Amino acid sequence: MKDKVVIITGATSGIGKALAYEFAGRGAMVVIGARNYEKLLEVAEDIKLNGGEVAFAQTDVTNEVDCKNLVLTAVQRFGKVDVLINNAGISMRALFEEVDLKVIEQLMDVNFWGTVYCTKHALPYLLKEKGSICGVSSTAGLVGLPGRTGYSASKFAMKGFLDCIRTENLKKGLHVLMAFPGFTASNIRVTSLTKDGTPQGKSPRQEGKMMSAEEVAQKIYSAIDKRKNTLILTFEGKAVALLNKFFPKWVTSIVYNKMAKEPDSPFK
């Protein structure tokens, strides 16, 4: 990835931030986007102090103009785009029968439409370089997770969209990776939306026992470098993907029971 230009959304925390450091540390020129300008500046300055090349643009991925500007920042600063990593995302935790539909809309706007907007504007440059698109999904994109209807729906939509992009450009040298991390230590559960759209404020899980964001970033880096189509992380994620093909009813029961054991689970 040395001298490749890599755009990363949601790059100020969690997997996105870890990806920025991972690619910059491998000699790539990273272009990072996120909503918080102060955090963007902080990450960019730290990457520079560590010898990396970086550019950034304040980016709300629900805004198509912001997504276009992020891509143009990469082109204007470094002259090309080799990799686009659609990482920006938010989650939720509420029963569908109780949730305000605006919460579902918000998740689709960030997780799905953010991917669509960034991909649309980066695609001409990626095709020119025979580059890579990566969608950072979740186990929730492999099997529907109860209490996460909007999250699962948006991640399934992301996969369907990027599968189509891969097939449409099969003869043009474009590489598309779908990455499915398992539960990863990050702030996504802290910022996860409740039924009325307010942040959850705390994680219902033991973050210390999860795969670190840095481990996930290393795996995604390797999968992009090897131009893999699919990356499923953790034994749990691989087991769910495999067993759901043959024993979907059993997997549904297992998933229900596991998620119901979470502290303050919205269902029992």
For residues 54 and 30, the answer to whether their CB atoms sit within 8 Å is yes
The DSSP string of 139-165 is GGGTSPPTTBHHHHHHHHHHHHHHHHH
Token look-up 């300008």 returns 37
Token look-up 């997780």 returns 111
198, with CB counted inside 10 A (0-12, 13-18, 19+), is exposed
Give 172's Cβ-side CA count (13 Å radius): 16
* Rounded distance between C-alpha atoms, residue 141 and residue 181, angstroms: 10
* Rounded distance between C-alpha atoms, residue 23 and residue 95, angstroms: 38
Find the catalytic residue in 21, 117, 125, 151. 151
For residues 225 and 115, the answer to whether their CB atoms sit within 8 Å is no
Q: Spell out a b/e string for 11-25, using b for 16 or more CB atoms within 10 Å of the CB, else e.
A: bbbbbbbbbbbbbbb
Helix (H) or strand (E) holding 242: helix 235-246
**Is 151 in the active site?**
yes
Q: What are phi and psi of 221, to 5 degrees?
A: -55, -50
- Would you give the DSSP letter of residue 42? H
Supply the residues annotated as catalytic.
Answer: 151
